[in-house]
Copies of this chain bind each other. A is one copy, B any other.
């Protein structure tokens, strides 16, 4: 039995239309009323279907102008669904882990894209590194600045957006009681050490160094 509602069908219909017609970004689609007529449904249904497309990032709607096709930015969409308060604890912990995976695994893309300019920027960030007496917030900001720059250097916008997305989750998990308390804050490979490797080392070296740099996080995950 087909349990799908009218709106479901209209939505699928519209998506199919976008794919088939190979409509380009910026193309406008007919008005709600025209669509309603052509599809033989009420404006209400058409509106709900369009609303879904909008949520999926497939279209943008402007008053008077109508709807235009946009390139779906999946991450801005996910972002709205990623409120840490609404996710269960296990998922939160797993997302925390994913960040570690990404930062260790992206070494090759770093080395592929890095320029002298990037190195300079990284060194600039390090120079402003707060000392241990400073407020916790400064440390967080600095961490984000440094690691965020790394994502940027990969040249992979999707990766960068993903990181931006995971940031609040990461912070939330870090501060919540989800993970074990940090027993010993040992100093491992520093930011400066990472930059040195980026300048003179290799992806292999960087992966191991980054793994070491993140050791404190790993310690909190593994018993």
Tell whether, in the assembled complex, residue B159 and residue A101 are in contact, meaning their CB atoms are under 8 Å apart: yes
Q: How far is the CB of A109 from chain B (nearest CB, A)?
A: 6
Tell whether, in the assembled complex, residue A71 and residue B87 are in contact, meaning their CB atoms are under 8 Å apart: yes
Is A207 among interface residues, defined by CB-CB distance under 8 A? yes
Is A31 among interface residues, defined by CB-CB distance under 8 A? no
Interface string of A81-102 (1 = CB under 8 A from B): 1110111101100110110111
Interface residues contributed by chain A, number (CB under 8 Å): 55
Given A55-B55, A78-B77, check contact A83 B158 (CB 8 Å): no
Q: How far is the CB of A56 from chain B (nearest CB, A)?
A: 5
Kindly report which residue of chain B lies nearest to residue A95, judged by CB atoms.
B158
Tell whether, in the assembled complex, residue A98 and residue B211 are in contact, meaning their CB atoms are under 8 Å apart: no
Is A18 among interface residues, defined by CB-CB distance under 8 A? yes
Contacts of A162 in B (CB 8 A): 98
Tell whether, in the assembled complex, residue A80 and residue B98 are in contact, meaning their CB atoms are under 8 Å apart: no
Contacts of A80 in B (CB 8 A): 56
Is A28 among interface residues, defined by CB-CB distance under 8 A? no
Subset of 17 A-B contacts with CB under 8 Å: A48-B51, A51-B51, A55-B55, A71-B88, A72-B87, A74-B82, A74-B87, A94-B158, A98-B158, A100-B108, A101-B106, A102-B105, A104-B107, A104-B108, A105-B207, A108-B211, A207-B208
Known contacts A94-B158, A101-B101; 5 further A-B pairs (Cβ under 8 A) = A72-B87, A90-B157, A98-B162, A101-B109, A207-B208
